[in-house]
Chain A
Amino acid sequence: MSVQEELIGLVADMLDIPRDTIDPEAPLHTLGLDSMRLVEIMVFIETRYGLDLMADNLKREEIATLSALAQTIGNKQKP
């Protein structure tokens, strides 16, 4: 399963909605996510990928969509 698919599954479980209704290019706030849910996503990323994105002062465009988040994780994991 790709990083993006994992994130979509996580958000679908959080919001109790089907996976196929989630647009990975949509800004997170338009999906109905709030600060608590965003923090839960960040905690998942730290637990699963060992990346503390909250400490990295990322730009908005690097975390504003699931697609961007997946790409940021990919970039950070590159040696």
Chain B
Amino acid sequence: MRRVRYLNGMDWVVTGLMHELWQCAGTGNWSQVVVQLAGELDDEAFCAAVQRFHGAHPILQGKTVRGWQLAPCWIIPRSRHGHRPPIPYVRRSMPADTAMENVVRDLQHALMLPPGYPGSYTGFTSLRRGGETFLAFRFDHRLFDARGAERFLLALIEYAESGSHAPPPPQTHVAESAHLRPWKEKFESGRRVLQVLRKQRVHTPFRLPRRATSVGAFRFSLLALDSEQTARLIDRAYEQAGYLMLTPYVVAKALEAVDAFLRTRREPLAGYVIPCSTDMRQSPSDAYFNHIALTCFSTAAGADPTTWASLFARQFYEQTRDRMPSHFENAWKLARILPASVYGTLMSGLFRDFAGSFSVANVGGGLSDLTSMGGCHVRNVFHMPLVPPAPGLGFFLNSWQERINLTLVSFDAVLSAAEHDDVFRHAVNLFLPPGK
């Protein structure tokens, strides 16, 4: 097995974000996938399978170093039998009548761990509510993006379901080159990216101002649509943005929610820039590390909101045609020159304007085939990612079977609890319009 995996530009951006999160919120760059089960999971058996499975994947015990060419890389320990701390597996319980919003609030505490917690890039929380289990798989974004985490979790669940007590066979990892040359191409990509960003800044992009009080907390709200509500949402997306244009439609509706909230706050508005992550993995089976780039949507604040969905669909098309996600991916490789801690500081300071007004991501649907686990029927699968302190507000979309979930995340340095609830209320009205 290869012991070194060079990090790409996005991996390094994610590492920089970890430092930014640590400085602003005292936590790492964590996210989690939550599997909601209609039954009580056998935690003893699943936890034992987790420990065996992780033990067979030394990559999960790696660390970042600078290679001899000064490119950052992930060093994978040589032995899979050496000493390693157990993977954290926390069990909690709540009364059966606990509201879903309180379940989400409880699960968010599992995310707030310091970075570099020894031997822990992953962890589990098994939360019981009456006869129901919420199994949360927490992961460090340095090792997985959301789609990769879903793939890893699926492999782990399949292993646990097999009932095997033997460790799974070791995995091989696709090598990633150091991408040190050609520099000219990367600088050209950087130039193209800056051109697009400048073009979008014709209207000064609105960004949420920092509040004076912050305890470094994040707030989450979950809008879980049932299959009928999802079908109606997809129909509306088709009418307003075009066939299969769900992502531009979600960006448009998220913007309407933020715009409606800001108007009640009487913020002076000029324009919006909304970065949206784009999946760049070469193979759907790529599990480890980050395979995403960005598409940036923009509009003037005074524009007619009913035109935003079709406008964003057009911007999505034009940026893909102009290979902007690839240029982002390529240009970010230059960022690896900087130490991650310096990069993190720049992102919360000098580069803050480039973070956009808020962010949107379609984080996947890779667990749609997961219908049961440990003898329990799966009721839903949703994501709970932390959002970078700048912009401090994010909408995350995931699908499971014929259903869509929308997770709203905000950082308390930009939105108070009441303001977060206001944005969420606007979002619910827009994603679930009454009478439709």
Contact = CB atoms under 8 A, between A and B. Distances in A.
Contacts of B314: 54-55
B264 interface: no
Interface in B403-432: none
A22 to B, nearest CB: 15
B238 A35 contact: no
A29 B230 CA distance: 14
A35 B244 contact: yes
The secondary structure that dominates the A interface is: helix
Contacts of A51: none
A63 B284 contact: no
B244 A29 contact: yes
Given A16-B283, A60-B238, A36 B320 contact: yes
A31 to B, nearest CB: 11
Contacts of A63: 243
Interface string B235-246: 000100011111
B243 A46 contact: no
A10 B316 CA distance: 20
Given A39-B316, A46-B321, A64 B279 contact: no
Interface string A22-51: 000000110001111011101100100000
B200 interface: no
Nearest to A37: B244
Contact of B246 (A28, A34, A54): A34
Contacts of B205: none
The interface centre, meaning the residue of A29, A35, A36, A55 with most chain B CB atoms within 10 A of its CB, is: A35
B253 to A, nearest CB: 14
A7 to B, nearest CB: 15
B247 A35 contact: yes
A60 B362 CA distance: 22
Given A42-B317, A43-B317, A54-B314, A15 B284 contact: yes
Contacts of A34: 244, 246-247, 362
A54 B278 contact: no
B313 interface: yes
Contact of A40 (B242, B247, B284, B320): B320
A40 B283 CA distance: 15
A73 B246 CA distance: 23
Interface string B375-393: 0000000000000000000
Interface of A: 15-16, 28-29, 33-36, 38-40, 42-43, 46, 54-55, 60, 63-64
Given A35-B246, A63-B243, 12 more contacts: A16-B284, A29-B244, A34-B246, A34-B247, A35-B244, A35-B245, A35-B247, A36-B279, A39-B317, A46-B321, A54-B242, A64-B243
